[in-house]
Chains A and B, each alone.
Chain A
C-alpha cells in the first residue's frame, strides 16, 4: 500500500510534462483531495455593474416593462436587484455591454427630448423612450430592448411575487388533470 502523494509523484516522474494539469496540482498538495461542490455566488453583487444614473434608469424602465397593475410590478418583485446580480456574478461581462449601451443611449435621448434624466421622466415619457428603443429609433435600441425585456421577464416570473401572485404556484399539486378548465384559474401556473 502506497500513499497517494508517493503514487502521484511517481507517475509525474514517469510522464513528465505530459501529466494532466490537475494531477500536477494534486501531487503537490497534501491531505484530502475530496473537493467541495463549486458554490454559486449569492447576496449583493460582487461589484457594481451600473453607475447611479444607469441603475436609476434601469430600475425605472424595468417597472415600465412589467408595471404595477392589480399585482405588484418589477420593482416590488426585486427585478432590478436580480438584474444587477445576474450581470455582476451569473453571466459573462459581454452580456452587460448592450444593456449599458442602451441605457446610456436612452439617457442621452431623455436629456435631449425632455431635459430630465430617464429616472425622473414621467411614466409616459419613459414609455416613449422604451418604444423608440423597441422600434430601433435609438442607436442599439432594438438589441437593448430585446435583452432587457428578457432580463425583466426572467427576473419577474422567477421571483416570489411573479411566481405566486402574478402567476399561480402549486408547490405540491398532488394530482394531474390534463383537461382542466382555464376559467377556473384565469392565470398561468408557474413551473
Chain B
C-alpha cells in the first residue's frame, strides 16, 4: 500500500515507545503515520494461542531444536516458543553481523507492538541518583535531565498503563502510582522476614509489574487472571502492550495511520535547514521503496534499530551520518549484565502450595554504593529478581510408584538472578558493516560491545552476596552460579544516540531531540546515557510522553 496522505509526524516503531508516541501525538491533534517493520498483530484476534494449554500448541509449545537453530538462534535467548513465535524476528532472514565484532545477542521482535508483546513487564522508576551518578562520579555521559524532570511523566504513564506494586518509601527506588501488589507466597514472606533481619538495610519487596491487579474498564482491560501465559498475548489486556493500551487510544482519535511490514532504511535530511524531511521505507508486501514526507519524526525503532537507521541516514558514498556531528552516534552502548544468581531450598511449609500462576515474583533492590563509593571494588550496583516456587516431585524409577510419587510437590525453592548496571564506554560501539547488507539493502549492524572490569567485579560480588544472603536466611542446598555474560542477553540494550548537555558530546538534547535536527526525536533506549540497574521500559515511556509534550508545545513539526 503506497502511502499518499499528508502527515504531521511519522513514528517509526510501535513498541513501548512508538506506541506511546502515537497515542500522545494523535491525542494532541497531530495526524500521525506509524511504521513498523513487523507483521500486523491485532489485539485478541492476533493471539492464536491465548488461553491454549500445551496440547493445543504445535510441538507441545517446545520449539523444535532444528527450527530454533535455523531461524531463532538469537531469539532463543529471548524465550521464543511456538505460542509466541509470530511475535519474534526470524534471525535467518533478518540477520546482523553475528560472526564479526564482539559476541552480542540482538534479540528482536517481528511484529507490530514490538517487544511490548514479549517483555518481562517488570516496571521500575529510576532514582534521582541514577540520573546524577555519571556527573557525580565524573563518568562520561552527564544527563541533561534529572529525576524531577521525569517524575511527573512517570506518574502520568503509570496511571494510564496500570502498575502493581507496594509502596516502600525507598529513596533509591522511588514508588510508582501503584495498584495493589500481587501477594508474596508463604515462602517469600518467610524469606523476607529472615533476610531483612539478617541484613539490615537490604529489602525483599513485591515486584513492580505492568500486570494489573485492578480493572481498567475505560480501556476495556481486565486485571491479571494469574494464567502466566503473558507471552502468548493476553486477551484480557492485563499487562501493558501497544495492542491493548496505546494503539486503541491512538486509533480512537481518528488521526492514526498504521502501516506494518514497513522497513525503514533511512531518514531524508535537509542540511541547509537542519531538518528531517521524510522517511524512506520498503513495503515488504510489495517490495516497493517509498519516501514519505512529514513535519516531524519520532524514531522509536528500539535502541539498536534506531541507531542503525540514524547511521544509515548519510550522504551518498557512505560518509558520516547527518545526525553524527558529535561523533558519538553508535557509541556508549550498554546492557544490563546478568546470568549470575543463587538458589536454595526453603525448609518447611510443605503443606502449602501456590494456587494460580503468578507472573513476576519478588525483588531485592540495589544495596551497593547507595551512599557513594563504599569501597567494594566497583561502581554502582545490582538488584535481584526472584521467586519461590514448588516443582512437582522428581521422578523416581518408573511405573505406578513413580506416577503417584509425582502427584506430590518437592520442597519450596527460591532462586534469584542479579541485573547489574553497565557503565557507558565510548568504545562500546555499534557500526554499519562496510560491505554486507540485508535483503532490504541496509548495511548489517556490527557490534563491538563488551562488559568490562567494573561489570565483571559487580557480578562476582552479586554471586557471593546472593549465596551469603540465602545461606544466612536459613535456606539449605544453596548454590550460586555464573554464566556467560553476553551483551544484549538481558534485552535491556541501551545507548547509541545518547542525550547530553553538550552537542559536541551527544546526539540528543534533554528533550530527546536531535542536536542536528529539531524535528527529530529519538525516544527509545537509544537515548540513554546510563542504564541504572532496573528494568528500563517505564523510563522509555515516560521520556516519550515528555518528548511528545515538548514537540507539540514547541510546534516542532511546523
Residues of chain A having any CB pair with chain B under 8 Å: 1-5, 7-8, 11, 15, 18-20, 22-23, 25-26, 30-35, 37-42, 64-67, 69, 82, 86, 89-92, 127, 130, 134, 149, 153-155, 158-160, 163-164, 166, 169-183, 185-191
Are B437 and A64 closer than 8 Å at their CB atoms? Answer: no
- For A25, what are the chain B residues with a Cβ–Cβ distance below 8 Å? 439
| B67 interface hit (Cβ, 8 Å) | yes
Residues of chain B having any CB pair with chain A under 8 Å: 39, 51, 53-55, 58-67, 70-71, 82, 85-86, 90, 92-93, 95, 182-189, 225-228, 261, 282, 284-291, 349-358, 392, 395, 397-400, 402-404, 406-409, 435-441, 444
Closest beta carbon of chain A to B3's beta carbon, Å = 12
- For A170, what are the chain B residues with a Cβ–Cβ distance below 8 Å? 355-357
Closest A residue to B280 by CB, please name it: A1
Are A178 and B438 closer than 8 Å at their CB atoms? Answer: no
Are B59 and A40 closer than 8 Å at their CB atoms? Answer: yes
Closest beta carbon of chain A to B336's beta carbon, Å = 27
Q: List 8 A-B pairs, minimum CB-CB distance, nearest first.
A: A178-B185, A173-B356, A26-B439, A180-B355, A176-B356, A90-B64, A40-B58, A179-B186
Are A69 and B85 closer than 8 Å at their CB atoms? Answer: no
Closest A residue to B69 by CB, please name it: A92
Are B186 and A178 closer than 8 Å at their CB atoms? Answer: yes
Are A22 and B92 closer than 8 Å at their CB atoms? Answer: yes
Instruction: Given A23-B439, A25-B439, A182-B351, answer yes or no on A163-B287 (Cβ-Cβ < 8 Å).
Output: no
Are B227 and A172 closer than 8 Å at their CB atoms? Answer: yes
- For B356, what are the chain A residues with a Cβ–Cβ distance below 8 Å? 170, 173-177
Partner of A15 from B286, B351, B437, B438 at Cβ < 8 Å: B437
Are A5 and B398 closer than 8 Å at their CB atoms? Answer: no
Closest beta carbon of chain B to A72's beta carbon, Å = 11
A33–B54 Cα gap in the complex (Å)?
32
- For A154, what are the chain B residues with a Cβ–Cβ distance below 8 Å? 60, 62
A163–B63 Cα gap in the complex (Å)?
19
Are B403 and A4 closer than 8 Å at their CB atoms? Answer: no
A38–B72 Cα gap in the complex (Å)?
10
Are A20 and B64 closer than 8 Å at their CB atoms? Answer: no
Are B409 and A158 closer than 8 Å at their CB atoms? Answer: no
A95–B353 Cα gap in the complex (Å)?
36
Closest beta carbon of chain A to B451's beta carbon, Å = 28
Closest beta carbon of chain A to B483's beta carbon, Å = 23
Instruction: Given A1-B291, A22-B93, A40-B59, answer yes or no on A69-B403 (Cβ-Cβ < 8 Å).
Output: yes
Are B290 and A1 closer than 8 Å at their CB atoms? Answer: yes
A118–B544 Cα gap in the complex (Å)?
67
User: Could you pull out 8 A-B pairs where Cβ atoms are within 8 angstroms?
Assistant: A33-B287, A69-B400, A90-B59, A171-B51, A174-B226, A177-B355, A178-B189, A188-B407
Partner of A158 from B55, B290, B440 at Cβ < 8 Å: B55
Closest beta carbon of chain A to B289's beta carbon, Å = 6
Instruction: Given A166-B403, A181-B352, answer yes or no on A159-B95 (Cβ-Cβ < 8 Å).
Output: no
Closest B residue to A159 by CB, please name it: B55
Given A40-B85, A171-B53; 11 other pairs, CB 8 A cutoff:
A3-B287, A7-B289, A22-B93, A26-B439, A32-B284, A38-B71, A67-B399, A69-B403, A160-B53, A182-B408, A189-B357
Partner of A23 from B63, B354, B437 at Cβ < 8 Å: B437
A160–B55 Cα gap in the complex (Å)?
6
- For B289, what are the chain A residues with a Cβ–Cβ distance below 8 Å? 1-4, 7
Closest beta carbon of chain A to B386's beta carbon, Å = 14
A173–B358 Cα gap in the complex (Å)?
10
- For B439, what are the chain A residues with a Cβ–Cβ distance below 8 Å? 8, 20, 22-23, 25-26, 33
- Tell which of A3, A15, A40, A183 has the most Cβ of chain B within 10 Å: A40
- For A66, what are the chain B residues with a Cβ–Cβ distance below 8 Å? 398, 402-403
Are A182 and B403 closer than 8 Å at their CB atoms? Answer: no
Closest beta carbon of chain A to B109's beta carbon, Å = 13
A77–B358 Cα gap in the complex (Å)?
28
Are B67 and A38 closer than 8 Å at their CB atoms? Answer: yes
Instruction: Given A7-B289, A92-B66, A174-B225, answer yes or no on A183-B351 (Cβ-Cβ < 8 Å).
Output: yes
Are A188 and B392 closer than 8 Å at their CB atoms? Answer: yes
Instruction: Given A32-B287, A158-B54, answer yes or no on A40-B67 (Cβ-Cβ < 8 Å).
Output: yes
A181–B39 Cα gap in the complex (Å)?
45
Are B182 and A64 closer than 8 Å at their CB atoms? Answer: no
Are A37 and B86 closer than 8 Å at their CB atoms? Answer: yes
Are A69 and B404 closer than 8 Å at their CB atoms? Answer: yes
Closest B residue to A39 by CB, please name it: B58
Closest A residue to B63 by CB, please name it: A40
Are B403 and A67 closer than 8 Å at their CB atoms? Answer: yes
- For A67, what are the chain B residues with a Cβ–Cβ distance below 8 Å? 399-400, 403
Closest beta carbon of chain B to A177's beta carbon, Å = 4
Closest A residue to B397 by CB, please name it: A134
- For B357, what are the chain A residues with a Cβ–Cβ distance below 8 Å? 170, 173, 176, 189, 191
A165–B395 Cα gap in the complex (Å)?
18
Closest B residue to A3 by CB, please name it: B288
Closest A residue to B350 by CB, please name it: A182
A170–B229 Cα gap in the complex (Å)?
12
Closest B residue to A8 by CB, please name it: B441
A118–B530 Cα gap in the complex (Å)?
65
Are B286 and A169 closer than 8 Å at their CB atoms? Answer: no
- For A134, what are the chain B residues with a Cβ–Cβ distance below 8 Å? 397-398
Instruction: Given A171-B51, A176-B356, A180-B352, answer yes or no on A64-B398 (Cβ-Cβ < 8 Å).
Output: yes
- For B59, what are the chain A residues with a Cβ–Cβ distance below 8 Å? 40, 86, 90
Are A178 and B358 closer than 8 Å at their CB atoms? Answer: yes
A15–B406 Cα gap in the complex (Å)?
60
Are A158 and B352 closer than 8 Å at their CB atoms? Answer: no
Instruction: Given A18-B436, A34-B284, A92-B66, answer yes or no on A65-B93 (Cβ-Cβ < 8 Å).
Output: no
Closest B residue to A156 by CB, please name it: B403
Are B438 and A20 closer than 8 Å at their CB atoms? Answer: yes
Are A38 and B90 closer than 8 Å at their CB atoms? Answer: yes
A161–B220 Cα gap in the complex (Å)?
35
Partner of B53 from A89, A169, A178 at Cβ < 8 Å: A169
Are B354 and A65 closer than 8 Å at their CB atoms? Answer: no
- Tell which of B185, B189, B226, B437 has the most Cβ of chain A within 10 Å: B437
Closest B residue to A10 by CB, please name it: B441
- For A174, what are the chain B residues with a Cβ–Cβ distance below 8 Å? 225-226, 356
A186–B351 Cα gap in the complex (Å)?
10
- For B71, what are the chain A residues with a Cβ–Cβ distance below 8 Å? 38
